[in-house]
Structure 1
Amino acid sequence: MNRFHVVDAFTDQPFHGNPAAVLVLDSPYDDAWAQRVAAEFNLSETAFVRPLAGADADYELRWFTPTTEVDLCGHATLAAAHVLAAGGAEGPFRFASRSGVLTVTARDGLLWLDFPANPPYAKDVPDGLVAALGGEPVWAGFSDVNDYFVVYPDEATVRALAPDLAEVARCTVRGVTVTAPADPGQPYDFVSRLFAPAIGIPEDPVTGSAHTALGPYWAQRLGRTRLDAVQCSARGGRLVVELPADAPDRVLIGGTAVTVSEGTLRY
């Protein structure tokens, strides 16, 4: 039997942010079992953590949606580090993952994810995607986190989008990130949403990995290397993004998390 924790990530309030299940396991496990567990929790991500004895990383970390394993997930990485720290483990936490070694460090009251940068670049989007999203974007492209990346002129447009998710699901990528600058006077710099119906997530509440593209894009547009971000889903989430001057190929994503439940998985 294995212990599990359900953690709301990128928030300091329960029932906000993005929930992830976290299991810290002592031994290897079967991939099919992990997928069934993720389907049982039916959260956007379930994280599986296993200690390693190697020199490069302290833990193996894998992420599963209800339907598939993914290459990178920010909120479940934050949740995993939160669970380890709450259990008395000392960071920084070095995770071996499909996206290389990812480090999480505590600083300034936040847990900071050190992720590879994935700045978006111009690329034609599929026929019908813009119409399926709605609104009138000002730019569209792609990021190597495997998302289409669509920019709108203002925050209100992003908040009001009600996309045709069946049409969005026709895109054979992870998802579609939509974004806009914050309204004047807001205490944050930009907003975003992410739709990923093709992998079983109609709308992700908060997506850390998407900010590996959002951070570089808005840093260039706004001329700053530290940005406050809001993902304006129904649950909502807050993130801080930093672009380190000494590591232009990395993005630091800061946030907090709250454990909302824990228990024993019997099978």
Structure 2
Amino acid sequence: MKVFHVDAFTDEKFSGNPAGVVPEALTLTKAQMQQIARELNLSETAFLIPTTNGNADFRILYFTPQTEVDFCGHATLAAAWIIATETEWKKESVHFETNIGIVPVEFKYEDQNLLRAYMTQAKPKTKEINIDIDELASILGLQKTDFDQTLPIKLASTGNWHLLVPVKTRKGIDNAVPNFSLLKKHNENQNIITTHLFTFDCDIEGCLLYTRDFAPAVGVDEDPFTGSANGALAGYLALEQLGQVNTTSYSIAQGHIVGRPGYCHVRIEHIGNQPTVKIGGVAVKTISGFVHL
């Protein structure tokens, strides 16, 4: 069975966030999908199967090495990239049926070369969380003074719930040394997929925000680049009208501290008071081959 290893949110091999893609997974059981995801040992592997939904082109399932998750941004980008570059797909978009609904991905071409793909994420939502700041600082290996208390710590979702933690400086984010055992229990108790640190103190050219993401509750201590969490962050900033975001177009950097720098481009489109979050990026195939069952 054909399988690909794709570095997402980067145009350089061995950067960004690697995802597995199995483009023809019809005959696989979920137990086999979980085994393959564990064998590939990437943060997520995407499996494509036929769909009966008339609004979608494929059904897509996502597995970490430990469990199935409802949505994964970088694996969605990776799967769309494989469809556009490794198959005879001629359309300018592909629609995935996921556990959170239909996720469209638009392809942007120049001279028949694929430049970028934009995924439209689920309707952004935020909600309050009662949290002990001192306890959170201890769990994340930060000082209480590292938090940017001009911005609220909140839960946000464009498909998965993430805990968004504003930090004053990039140095503060890079210095975080989480206690992953405690963070795993905390995230499980709050039904959180990841804890996402972000700052506007970003010295990376062309980028407004710098982030870092921890997901021990689903078996991934640190994710190099997180399309769903950065989408949730973009939705949070748009809904709450917070921080320095006074534009509908900007870029986010992540993964530099773990040696896998990645970038996404955010587009916010408004229909009335409701923002729609589109996360754009590029990807590069690094491995292709077969898994033998």
* Contact 2:10 2:281 (8 Å CA) reproduced: yes
- Deviation (angstroms), 1:249: 4.5
SS of the equivalent of 2:185 reads coil
* Contact 1:35 1:64 (8 Å CA) reproduced: yes
For residues 19-39 of structure 1, the C-alpha deviation after alignment (integer angstroms, 9 at most, x for no partner) is 001001162421111111111
Give distance in 1, aligned partners of 2:63 and 2:154: 26
Give distance in 1, aligned partners of 2:82 and 2:226: 19
For residues 90-118 of structure 1, the C-alpha deviation after alignment (integer angstroms, 9 at most, x for no partner) is 33101001010001111262100111143
Are positions 1:228 and 2:227 aligned together? no
Give distance in 2, aligned partners of 1:227 and 1:237: 14
Give distance in 2, aligned partners of 1:189 and 1:64: 30
Other-structure match for 1:194: 213
Compared CA separation, residues 90 and 148, structure 1 to 2 (3 A): same
Q: What pairs with 1:79-228 in structure 2 (closer than 5 Å)?
A: 79-86=78-85, 87-91=87-91, 92-107=93-108, 109-125=115-131, 128-133=135-140, 134-135=142-143, 136-137=146-147, 138=149, 139-144=152-157, 145-171=160-186, 172=188, 173-183=192-202, 186-219=205-238, 220=241, 221=243, 222-228=245-251
Compared CA separation, residues 262 and 184, structure 1 to 2 (3 A): closer
Other-structure match for 1:50: 49
Other-structure match for 2:267: 242
**Percent same amino acid among aligned pairs?**
30
Moved more, 46-55 or 123-132: 123-132
Give distance in 2, aligned partners of 1:185 and 1:260: 25
Give distance in 1, aligned partners of 2:64 and 2:275: 27
Other-structure match for 1:257: 283
Give distance in 2, aligned partners of 1:224 and 1:124: 30
TM-score (norm 2): 0.85
Other-structure match for 1:23: 22
Give distance in 1, aligned partners of 2:103 and 2:236: 21
Give distance in 1, aligned partners of 2:177 and 2:204: 25
Give distance in 2, aligned partners of 1:237 and 1:215: 16
For residues 136-190 of structure 1, the C-alpha deviation after alignment (integer angstroms, 9 at most, x for no partner) is 3123121232221111112221122121212111121212011110336842101
Q: For the aligned residues, what is the CA RMSD?
A: 1.9
Structure 2 unaligned spans of 5+: 110-114
Other-structure match for 2:112: none
Give distance in 2, aligned partners of 1:246 and 1:14: 37
SS of the equivalent of 2:10 reads coil
SS of the equivalent of 2:66 reads coil
Report how many residues are paired: 266
Give distance in 2, aligned partners of 1:158 and 1:195: 12
After the TM superposition, which parts of structure 1 deviate over 4 Å for at least 4 consecutive aligned residues?
Answer: none
The structure in which a higher percent of residues are helix is 2
- Deviation (angstroms), 1:132: 1.3
